[in-house]
Amino acid sequence: MSKLKKTLIFYINSSIHVAFAIAALAWISFLELNIPVDFTILCFIFLSSITGYNFVKYAGIAKLHHQSLTKNLRIIQLFSFACFLVLIYFSSLQTLDVIWVTSILGIFTFFYTVPFLPDRTNLRSLRSLKIFVIALVWAGTTVLLPVVNFQEVFNSEIVLLFLQRFLFVVALTIPFEIRDVVFDRANLGTLPQLTGTEQSKKIGYVLLFLFLGIDFFLADNFISTIPEILTVIILAVSIYKSSTSQNRYFSAFWVEGIPLLWLFFEFLL
């Protein structure tokens, strides 16, 4: 395996790519709300995302196979621990409000993986809840944290932005759910399991239509909506191209990277 491919696999598996995506959405919130970009909280969000995602993905594996972890997984563990140490520093730079909101979102992340119900069920296992928990945490992280960091007063614009981001993340998650439908347990009740692949895609298109509707309502002029229009087109095409036999990196790299393209469009236009 080439060094470039190994680097790409580590970049994806260590959650660096998804962390950049989440940080990009937070940056977009700063731009859309016309508040100064705070790079300390962007670093805080980036490091929190790596730590949280790697906990969700690898905590169970590490517990079951701690004596026989592969070399790559051990490297990811060490990398995650290093990110956590740096995260402690950036946490000390945040306001108390940011820490409180992060703690609430962290509880959702923790119980997404760790069983807490009498039958040892976690949030991830609750029927049809998985996609909405992810969207809630992403929307909270990328909208609420920039807002409380700037001590912005909550208003209708922020509520609509939170709803818009929630709809976007649900739509963004659909290609992943289609990819995983053959592997997910039947009782998870994911969107493709409940409605079928094609119907799930149609739901994704409706969500994107609602996303644009909110954007047109919030926008000052048509020009300012162009980044969102381009982003919706790309995501809609990605949903259309999604299948249960999609390329290994289609969702994990291309779809996950769409928020980065959105941020690029914001700077470009």
Q: Can you tell me whether residue 70 is helix, strand or coil?
A: coil
Residue 1's pLDDT band (cuts 50, 70, 90) = low
| Residue 261 C-alpha from the chain's centroid | 14
pLDDT in tens, 16-75: 999 999 999 999 999 999 999 999 999 999 999 999 999 888 875 544 444 445 777 888
Pick the CATH number of 9-268 from 2.30.30, 1.10.3470, 1.10.600, 3.40.462: 1.10.600
> Read out DSSP for 23-62?
HHHHHHHHHHTT----HHHHHHHHHHHHHHHHHHHHHHHH
> Are the beta carbons of 95 and 148 closer than 8 angstroms?
yes
State the chain's mean pLDDT as an integer. Answer: 89
Q: What local confidence, expressed as pLDDT, does residue 118 receive?
A: 60
pLDDT in tens, 126-179: 667 888 999 999 999 999 999 999 877 788 999 999 999 999 999 999 999 999
Q: Is 246 left (phi over 0), alpha (psi -120 to 50) or beta?
A: beta
Q: How many CB atoms lie within 10 A of CB 183?
A: 7
All residues at 6 or more sequence positions from 97 whose CB lies less than 8 Å from its CB, including other chains: 148, 149, 151
Q: What local confidence, expressed as pLDDT, does residue 61 receive?
A: 53
Q: What local confidence, expressed as pLDDT, does residue 35 receive?
A: 92
The domain locations on the chain are 9-268
> Are the beta carbons of 239 and 207 closer than 8 angstroms?
no
Rounded to whole angstroms, the Cα distance separating 140 from 26 reads: 10
CA dihedral 202, 204, 55, 14 (to 10 degrees): 100
Percentage of residues in the chain with pLDDT exceeding 70? Answer: 91
Q: What local confidence, expressed as pLDDT, does residue 4 receive?
A: 87
All residues at 6 or more sequence positions from 152 whose CB lies less than 8 Å from its CB, including other chains: 33, 35, 158
Which tokens belong to 174? 């659909």
> Are the beta carbons of 202 and 171 closer than 8 angstroms?
no
Q: What local confidence, expressed as pLDDT, does residue 95 receive?
A: 93
Contacts of 180-186 with CB under 8 Å at 24 or more apart are: 181/244, 182/244
All residues at 6 or more sequence positions from 180 whose CB lies less than 8 Å from its CB, including other chains: 190
Q: What local confidence, expressed as pLDDT, does residue 231 receive?
A: 98
Rounded to whole angstroms, the Cα distance separating 44 from 60 reads: 25
pTM of the model: 0.93
